[in-house]
Structure 1
Amino acid sequence: MINNIRYPTLRLGKTSIDLFPFWIGLLSIGFLFGLVGAFVVLRDGLDVTGLSDAVPWGLWISIDLSAISMGGSAFVFGVIVYILRIKRFEVIGKLAVLLGFLGYSTAGMVLLFDLGQPLRFWHPIVFWQPHSLLWEVTMCVVLYLNVLLAELLPIVLEHPIFKTHPWLTRYRLLGNLMNKVYSFSAWLHKAGPILAVAGLTLSLLHQASLGATYSVLAGRGIWFNQSAPVQFVLSAMSGGIALLFITSVFIFRVMRSGMVSDSALYDVARLAGGITLLLTYLRVWDWAVTNYYSFDREIFLQTQILDTIAPYSLTFWLGQALLPVIAGSILLAAKSIKNFRYLMAVAVIPIIAAIITRWNYNFAGLIASISYDPFTPNIVLNSYTPTWVEFAVGTMVICYWILAFSLAARFLPFKSSHDHHE
């Protein structure tokens, strides 16, 4: 089955060149460049970044939250496959698990450098702070990453190398070890429904809590509102499922043609479109409640200042309102359009909208924040410019995501004897 995979090639005359080694080499260069920045951060601390007490969250936390949102399809398709038992999505569900694991492991890598004391990353697990939203988010992310790892292990072990490699018969100890690993993997597969419920619970908790974090800040303003938890959950579902659709078309229609029906792929696109429209409806109503049906002088001033230094209002109306409505409507009509190229291009919009949401939430209330004086509140304008070290580390984690996905797209079988549940 692995031999039937079609690889991207470049034809020069009668010669066909496999692009995969060059692609991996390019990503490896980007990863090595990022390691230089990572070394500088671990050696000198956060002084080498553009972060400050006024703007403690910057480029890294935006990548972190965006990576988590791009894994939002994992908990959705965990419910679809293991709880609703819709079997035609089982193969797509495995890809959703992979995207979820890559998203959350990428976020973990970013946080390792974003912490002022990276060697203390284990402190939240030992020193509990149950009244802190960020502690709850940390615990949910750590636990959910373990759930994703448990769901991913059976998928990885389906590769033929773990069954037919000569070392397994030559070295009895290694063969016996692999048999025990397979037994554990089979047990994990049977526990799929339990893992799906755990993943859904943990995902909803921490996605909502990420939005709720902003609603309890003293400097709440434009984005710090009560609908933020719901918007964070829906944006993760919208962007994550849109990314799942794009990657599913590439893997299951281009590289492994016929493994997944076109009808199932269209349904993934329709699901992304429906959630995108629901999210956009909520966003517009939230804007109306905040800016039209009520008047808050501080929010009005914040918006004015942000529009003078950045295209803040433009990113909202274009990137989070108008284009998502168009994209959601097109994706919802995927079975009528039946053109994967157009649908893949349109599916990029919900992904960008999810990233813009997290970017705006991070900086709208930090760059133009409300002072803490309750009697004479003022709007304070702060500044933040990422340094080359931040870009280097960001490049490293993004290259890790693409590199791991590229290897999985080429080598993981995605189809196994476990695809049919009893």
Structure 2
Amino acid sequence: MSNQIPWGLWIVVDLSSIALGGCAFIFGAIVYLLKIKRFEKVGRLAVLIGFLGYSTAGMVLLFDLGQPLRFWRPVVFWQPHSLLWEITMCVVLYLTVLLAELLPVIVEHPVFVEHPWIERFPFVKKVADALQSFSHWLHKLGPLFAVVGLTLSLLHQASLGATYGVLSGRGLAFSPTAPVLFVLSAGTGGTSLLFLMSVIVFRIMRPGLVKDSVLYEIARIAGGFALLCIYIRLWDWAVVNYYSFNTEISLQTELLNSTSFYSATFWIGQVFFALIPGFVLLNAPRIKNIRILSLAAIMPILCTILLRWSYNFAGVMASITYDPYTPTVVLNTYTPTWQEWAVAIGVISYWLLGFSLAARFLPFQQVEKFHLPAE
């Protein structure tokens, strides 16, 4: 990273992990607000994915901001006119909401109920009983958490896009529809990742816990989000390239195409990676092939990551100088350093480790005294 490229690999990991955790607010609303109880077990998995995604983003930001010991300052020193301050507050509050939604799932583990130490040590028993009571109280507040989580998620997802929606003089970096696209891409990538992780948890690790028909419905939701996102994305591309009077945009595009596959990554990575899999996922109840649907779900996830990558780098790789009289387009270069790769690999490893342990040990249904047979 440099003064010319202030945002690099870390911010892409940050934005992508937040986008891929978007399934939490969607299925929180489905389970608690729409009262569709057949998604309750999947909703618990969505909360887990959301918590891992947002905690991953927080870990990246501790490195990206350069002052990890000052993480508390935005909470104390308010900057209400700053989009990034509003995003920070929403992320901090929403991470708290996700933790409150995840805690009852953790406390339902048998170690908090049947461990020998609970009966052997009175203090441990009191702590376990207090945790059970507190988690039960949090579970009753589920609808409230769903409303708060939905509000906070829509606010900061749209505000992340609004960061680019105010850059009216920066050519490709300017996109008035970015707030809508960031919300829809979070729905696309988040629900696609949820379907993929649901296949791993409920078809491979715990078969029979969730019916295949529920998985097909998740795939349909992901497909609907993907097609809606690509529709808005194509309109955004048309507005930027054909209805804009900014002459620097064509020059920026030509420079990017001369050194990279900028246009190809748009049409292949951001259009076809969402268009074709979107139709496949939308017809999941007819296809009824988990392998094909899982392969199709990978594409919108990559599309979401490419979309965030494109927004971050298109405007800074071919940037416009700040000369008010004769602005010119300057082509910059960027190669992540080993420190950037080390942090990115480290936080992704945290996500994978956390999901593996949670999928192995956490109960995704109310604790029962019988074993559900496999279908």
TM-score bucket of the superposed structures, by smaller chain:
over 0.9
Deviation, 1:220, is: 2.4
Deviation, 1:217, is: 3.0
Identify the match of residue 334 of structure 1 among 284, 287, 293: 284
1:15-414 matches, cutoff 5 A: 51-217=1-167, 219-414=169-364
Structure 2 residues without counterparts, runs of 5 or longer: 369-375
TM-score, normalisation: structure 2: 0.96
AA paired with 1:250? I
Does the 8 A contact of 1:276 with 1:324 survive in 2?
yes
AA paired with 1:337? I
Give per-residue Cα distances to partners, 1:170-191, cap 9 Å, x unaligned. Answer: 1101101111111110010000
Secondary structure at 2:171 match in 1: coil
Deviation, 1:244, is: 0.1
Alpha-carbon distance in 1 for matches of 2:331, 2:320: 9
Alpha-carbon distance in 2 for matches of 1:140, 1:396: 25
Deviation, 1:295, is: 4.6
AA paired with 1:144? Y
Bigger Cα displacement from structure 2, 222-231 vs 67-76: 222-231
Secondary structure at 1:226 match in 2: coil
AA paired with 2:307? T
Matched with 1:19 is none
1:1-20 matches, cutoff 5 A: none
Deviation, 1:390, is: 0.8
Does the 8 A contact of 2:273 with 2:302 survive in 1?
no
Does the 8 A contact of 1:218 with 1:372 survive in 2?
no
Structure 1 residues without counterparts, runs of 5 or longer: 1-50
Bigger Cα displacement from structure 2, 157-166 vs 90-99: 157-166
Bigger Cα displacement from structure 2, 175-184 vs 375-384: 375-384
Does the 8 A contact of 1:219 with 1:371 survive in 2?
no
Alpha-carbon distance in 2 for matches of 1:244, 1:104: 15
AA paired with 1:225? S
AA paired with 1:317? W
Alpha-carbon distance in 2 for matches of 1:369, 1:216: 16
Does the 8 A contact of 1:319 with 1:353 survive in 2?
yes
Give per-residue Cα distances to partners, 1:274-312, cap 9 Å, x unaligned. Answer: 110001011111111221234531110111111112211
Give per-residue Cα distances to partners, 1:23-54, cap 9 Å, x unaligned. Answer: xxxxxxxxxxxxxxxxxxxxxxxxxxxx1112
Q: Residues 417 and 193 from structure 1, CA distance in 2 versus in 1: closer, same or farther, beyond 3 angstroms?
A: farther
Does the 8 A contact of 2:42 with 2:198 survive in 1?
yes
Alpha-carbon distance in 2 for matches of 1:276, 1:305: 29
Deviation, 1:116, is: 2.1
TM-score, normalisation: structure 1: 0.86
Identity %: 64
Does the 8 A contact of 1:208 with 1:232 survive in 2?
yes
Alpha-carbon distance in 2 for matches of 1:394, 1:66: 12
Does the 8 A contact of 1:214 with 1:220 survive in 2?
no
Does the 8 A contact of 1:219 with 1:369 survive in 2?
no
Secondary structure at 1:54 match in 2: coil
Secondary structure at 1:237 match in 2: helix
Does the 8 A contact of 1:71 with 1:102 survive in 2?
yes
Deviation, 1:156, is: 0.8
Give per-residue Cα distances to partners, 1:73-114, cap 9 Å, x unaligned. Answer: 000000000000100000000000000000000000000001
AA paired with 1:332? L
Does the 8 A contact of 1:215 with 1:225 survive in 2?
yes
Does the 8 A contact of 1:211 with 1:228 survive in 2?
yes
Deviation, 1:216, is: 1.8
Matched with 2:371 is none
| Number of positions where the alignment pairs a residue of Structure 1 with one of Structure 2 | 368
Secondary structure at 1:222 match in 2: helix
Does the 8 A contact of 1:70 with 1:239 survive in 2?
yes
AA paired with 2:137? W
Does the 8 A contact of 2:168 with 2:174 survive in 1?
no
Give per-residue Cα distances to partners, 1:235-290, cap 9 Å, x unaligned. Answer: 00100000000000111111111111111100000000011000101111111122
